[in-house]
A and B are shown apart, each in its own frame.
Chain A
Amino acid sequence: GEDVEQSLFLSVREGDSSVINCTYTDSSSTYLYWYKQEPGAGLQLLTYIFSNMDMKQDQRLTVLLNKKDKHLSLRIADTQTGDSAIYFCAENRTGRRALTFGSGTRLQVQP
């Protein structure tokens, strides 16, 4: 398909792990990104992974990349209420001058 696809909503309990999934479109994308958007704010770059990597870990965040399936995931360990936000994945699609974003996954963390 043409779209970067994400599920719309995820609800977890505080302290659990969250896994947000994304399917991208261009197998030649060299970088894949995760952004976080809190209410009333812009998009904050969380992390990104180069396409020749399978995994990248940064404190509580783990990014997994499956190039064969064009599947990207973001795992947040020990999810906190402050992690409640919308999470966007993005790819640098060949021939486009800017990143292509998914529609975002709203993460709700319940106490």
Chain B
Amino acid sequence: ETGVTQTPRHLVMGMTNKKSLKCEQHLGHNAMYWYKQSAKKPLELMFVYSLEERVENNSVPSRFSPECPNSSHLFLHLHTLQPEDSALYLCASSQDWRNDQPQHFGDGTRLSIL
């Protein structure tokens, strides 16, 4: 139990579907992150939120739309995805967005695009 919970654990969707990934942290942290983990590639940072404000968007296509309604919840809204978007999507949180704070990860959502 890491204190960061992601749902669903697995998601299969067609390219025209719309779905959302959810992340919730119970650690009292102020910063939250979305990462993409593809086979044989380094972990890719997608978005960083600090106190519900997006502080980094790492050149992510607009078919990925993050939302942070409060400091405990983070969503990733998906629409019109491509097969290359199939990956493990990891959420993380840290005390704040300064990068000297350790990040705590959820178990991820395994996304498969048909």
A and B interact physically: yes
Contact between chains at A98 and B45 (CB < 8 Å): yes
**Bound Cα distance from A3 to B44, whole angstroms:** 12
Contact between chains at A3 and B99 (CB < 8 Å): no
* Contact residues of A between 88 and 103, Cβ < 8 Å to B: 88, 92-93, 96-99, 101-103
* Contact residues of B between 49 and 63, Cβ < 8 Å to A: 55-56
Tally of A-B Cβ pairs under 8 angstroms? 55
Contact between chains at B100 and A31 (CB < 8 Å): yes
**Bound Cα distance from A104 to B54, whole angstroms:** 28
Given contacts A88-B43, A98-B33, contact A43 B105 (CB under 8 A): yes
Interface size class of A (residues with CB under 8 A): 20 to 34
Number of B residues, CB within 8 Å of A:
24
Main secondary structure of the interface of A (DSSP, over half): loop
A27 proximal to B (CB < 8 A): no
A11 proximal to B (CB < 8 A): no
Contact between chains at B42 and A103 (CB < 8 Å): yes
Q: What B residues does A93 contact at CB under 8 A?
A: 99
A45 proximal to B (CB < 8 A): yes
Give A residues with C-beta under 8 Å from B.
3-4, 30-31, 33, 35, 40-45, 48, 88, 92-93, 96-99, 101-103
